[in-house]
Chain A
């Protein structure tokens, strides 16, 4: 079994014993993805399917929760349980799923509008609740599904249908925001055009005991074709944060030679590294598996019906006439 270890959940013990299936990529394949050709979402889907296979996550014990947007179609393209809800509200739903069901592995897939705009309040509080789940921000810096409107992460000056003379304000930096939130326990950044780094980051996020927030930098070939184009072509514009406790991605060491050794336990340094810089920094900025987790703090032993009935009768005694 792969998740919720030590939670004492009877479901886990039962499930682990009799399941000896060997799961392959095809066990996770859902409907054919209908994102535009060249969309970064395809690469993330591939990396996620790879993770599911590597970790042998049982499809029926795995739930993908999303909001609304291009990236939120994600659950439809997997053969796990999926919850394709409403715009910006994936995180509360995922929290509700996890609170009483530690046996389920929960992934959340959000776009930049979902996470950093309409659902920003939930995002901050989810970081603080630190309920165990992997939260992916598929950030292409634009609204694609509604056809080309500015998002909070759109680069300043970039024109869109709602800000045709260019985005008015500097873009929101999701990594900075996440690192600023009390009780954040895992903050990482990766890019869809670097499959090895993406895979390694997803693995680290999945194995983290807490709320693992991963911002995935993405291209939108239709509305943001120029975004990250330079970084894709020139690895020198990328800087990797490497550490034994973080992501090493040794297979890309030759291509990506700008490397900073960064201990993810160092929050102050993480915040420095999150500041805007010449190069795009990828890797695990921060990780602290000892942070309190809301669902563990609130985890209560299940009471059987006869116990509850007796307790309620005692409670009613207090109101007895």
Chain B
């Protein structure tokens, strides 16, 4: 089958077509790609938010070029949003795109070459390049069309610029709203809600910007209504439950406010920075301070100073910043200063892939400090959990006088998803700030010998004067190098994790409690893993999954859980050696990070399936991996 190119007249007087076909589908994935700066992301964000508000399940991810202003019309400059719509809840970005709107043929090629588009994808493409006065551009267009000729895409040319020029002088700034209108028509979106969302998106701009954008949106809607012969209906399922829709970094920031944090000290780093953008907007009104420090080290130093002084503080960073904070994290562990460190992971090592998702900081946060530095590690697996994890992290940090690392990632950071509106609780916010006198014999580290827990003394408290030190110290914070004190103090710092573990629930199992294969995941891969497991189970496979949200200490019962499955395999977004690669043997194969951890903790022969595509995992790929793993269990006859 050859590419079907539908030539559409782009004029206003064209006669209306016959009634369009209406395809009703349980889910559909749409993406909008443009050169950087053409507003595809804003278009996608508005479309996603409106879809969520109407009652669709939604998962939105950003398509981000590596450079701020890449040259125009090059594949690597592709920028935009990908929105997966569902009739019911959507937990991940899915597999392939069903409909793509491209502002030029080069960004379309980029998505095509990445395998992002379904075989039968509908492609809506700006057609002005086909007749551009610049011959090179026309040639590029033609060669792109030739490259796409072997596909089964349905390519529809859209006179975006020509249409926009009837309303505005600079169509580069208006096409995105025109496209928003086109999508609104195709997917039957409520235009009043779209207008509200446009008003919100451009709330810092003038009224005329709003009016122009609405007019462009209406223009696109009218064009699609007249010219397109299809509509897509992803049934909406409005819920009576109060919902909010946001991305994971917004959830972390609002969660921090809900948790009563008073200071966020940070240094700009992708993809963590937008947490601080959100706080910069609102934190002042809550009496909170967003402190942009001179560097990553100072950022955590300020947070530790504030926490030592009795205030609730956290710092937020990503891989390279985490590396710089290493020594201060060790100090907080040694001095039992409550501290929350949020690490929004990206690809590494070194500067790595700043805008791309990866889950490769797990072992670094666990073992990154010289010396023994026990700490708590939490990994939210949904955007909703990004909100609530801040409440949990603060509570653990203060109760256990410890460092809590929150591992988010670029997928959660930029993914947008609706979730039940958090029911705020005053108790989350209350300060633990105490300025009452302490008994004259109070010890700054009065460890309970059973649990290692102790009561913190805050500067300002009469009788409490002591010198906190990063040197090894006894209960009175007196410097002590003797082996006895070091062994006891180390045990006390470590014991707290065991006590915390006793308070945790065993991991939940998605699927049957026993079977042939257990998939173990952590962090943002939850939705994709559970969808893949559901598909495999629908085929009759005896596969279940579990998702660990507390990685240090590990939730109790992991080993017992593993014993109920014939095979256990992690699915992770980090590097592991391909078992079939040259030189790789079972003796030297380097595994995924959670797999290492679980093998050490359970002595179970945990395998791993990991990938580092720089984008979220697709359920279809995990489904394939499940089939391969099951084939190993059943001796190849699965």
By a beta-carbon cutoff of 8 Å, the part of chain A in contact with chain B is 11, 30-31, 59-61, 63-65, 68, 75-76, 78-86, 89, 91-101, 103-104, 121-122, 124-125, 298, 300-303, 305-306, 308-309, 311-313, 315-316, 318-321
Contacts of B470 in A (CB 8 A): 68, 84-86
What separation, in Å, do the CA atoms of A161 and B469 have in the docked complex? 28
Pairwise interchain contact A308-B429, C-beta atoms closer than 8 A: yes
B613 at the interface (CB under 8 A from A): no
What's the minimum C-beta distance from A300 to chain B, rounded to whole angstroms? 5
Contacts of A61 in B (CB 8 A): 459-460
What's the minimum C-beta distance from B458 to chain A, rounded to whole angstroms? 9
Q: Mark B461-490, 1 if CB is under 8 A from A, else 0.
A: 111111111110000001100000000000
Interchain CB contact (< 8 A) of A97 among B200, B250, B306, B462: B306
What separation, in Å, do the CA atoms of A101 and B305 have in the docked complex? 10
Contacts of A99 in B (CB 8 A): 263, 289, 291, 302, 305-306
What separation, in Å, do the CA atoms of A125 and B424 have in the docked complex? 38
Decide: A93 near B308, CB < 8 A? Known: A305-B426, A312-B258: yes
Decide: A300 near B305, CB < 8 A? Known: A312-B257, A316-B421: no
What's the minimum C-beta distance from B169 to chain A, rounded to whole angstroms? 32
Pairwise interchain contact B426-A306, C-beta atoms closer than 8 A: yes
B294 at the interface (CB under 8 A from A): yes
Pairwise interchain contact B459-A101, C-beta atoms closer than 8 A: yes
What's the minimum C-beta distance from A92 to chain B, rounded to whole angstroms? 3
What's the minimum C-beta distance from A22 to chain B, rounded to whole angstroms? 16
Decide: A316 near B254, CB < 8 A? Known: A89-B297, A121-B295, A321-B244: yes
Q: List 12 A-B contacts (CB under 8 A).
A: A81-B464, A93-B302, A93-B304, A96-B305, A96-B313, A99-B306, A101-B310, A101-B459, A305-B430, A316-B244, A316-B422, A321-B418
Contacts of B466 in A (CB 8 A): 81-82
Q: Mark B258-292, 1 if CB is under 8 A from A, else 0.
A: 10101101000000000000000010111111010
Pairwise interchain contact A83-B464, C-beta atoms closer than 8 A: no
B346 at the interface (CB under 8 A from A): no
What's the minimum C-beta distance from B53 to chain A, rounded to whole angstroms? 5
B434-464 interface (Cβ within 8 A of A):
435, 459-464
Ranked 5 nearest A-B pairs via Cβ: A96-B305, A92-B301, A82-B467, A96-B302, A321-B243
CB-CB nearest in chain A for B290: A298
What separation, in Å, do the CA atoms of A306 and B282 have in the docked complex? 16
What separation, in Å, do the CA atoms of A101 and B426 have in the docked complex? 23
What separation, in Å, do the CA atoms of A303 and B285 have in the docked complex? 8
Interchain CB contact (< 8 A) of B52 among A100, A313, A321: A321
Pairwise interchain contact A301-B287, C-beta atoms closer than 8 A: yes
Contacts of A96 in B (CB 8 A): 263, 265, 301-309, 313
Contacts of A79 in B (CB 8 A): 465
What's the minimum C-beta distance from B441 to chain A, rounded to whole angstroms? 15
B245 at the interface (CB under 8 A from A): yes
Q: A104-B309, A320-B243 are in contact. List 7 more A-B contacts (CB 8 A).
A: A60-B465, A64-B467, A96-B301, A312-B257, A312-B424, A315-B257, A316-B421
Pairwise interchain contact A86-B309, C-beta atoms closer than 8 A: no
Contacts of B245 in A (CB 8 A): 319, 321
B567 at the interface (CB under 8 A from A): no
What separation, in Å, do the CA atoms of A99 and B300 have in the docked complex? 14
What separation, in Å, do the CA atoms of A223 and B282 have in the docked complex? 53
What separation, in Å, do the CA atoms of A101 and B289 have in the docked complex? 12
Q: Mark B149-170, 1 if CB is under 8 A from A, else 0.
A: 0000000000000000000000
Pairwise interchain contact B311-A101, C-beta atoms closer than 8 A: yes
Contacts of B465 in A (CB 8 A): 59-60, 79-82
Decide: A121 near B262, CB < 8 A? Known: A76-B469, A309-B429: no
Pairwise interchain contact A92-B298, C-beta atoms closer than 8 A: yes
B303-358 interface (Cβ within 8 A of A):
303-311, 313, 327-328, 331
Interface centre among B284, B291, B294, B327 (most CB of A within 10 A): B294
Contacts of A94 in B (CB 8 A): 305
What separation, in Å, do the CA atoms of A50 and B260 have in the docked complex? 40
B246 at the interface (CB under 8 A from A): yes
What's the minimum C-beta distance from B427 to chain A, rounded to whole angstroms? 9
Contacts of B1 in A (CB 8 A): none
What separation, in Å, do the CA atoms of A91 and B265 have in the docked complex? 14
What separation, in Å, do the CA atoms of A82 and B308 have in the docked complex? 10
Pairwise interchain contact B297-A92, C-beta atoms closer than 8 A: yes
CB-CB nearest in chain A for B437: A60
Contacts of B424 in A (CB 8 A): 309, 312-313, 316
B293 at the interface (CB under 8 A from A): yes
Contacts of A80 in B (CB 8 A): 465
Pairwise interchain contact A84-B304, C-beta atoms closer than 8 A: no
Contacts of B331 in A (CB 8 A): 85-86
B538 at the interface (CB under 8 A from A): no
B13-53 interface (Cβ within 8 A of A):
52-53
B581 at the interface (CB under 8 A from A): no
What's the minimum C-beta distance from B88 to chain A, rounded to whole angstroms? 15
What separation, in Å, do the CA atoms of A91 and B254 have in the docked complex? 29
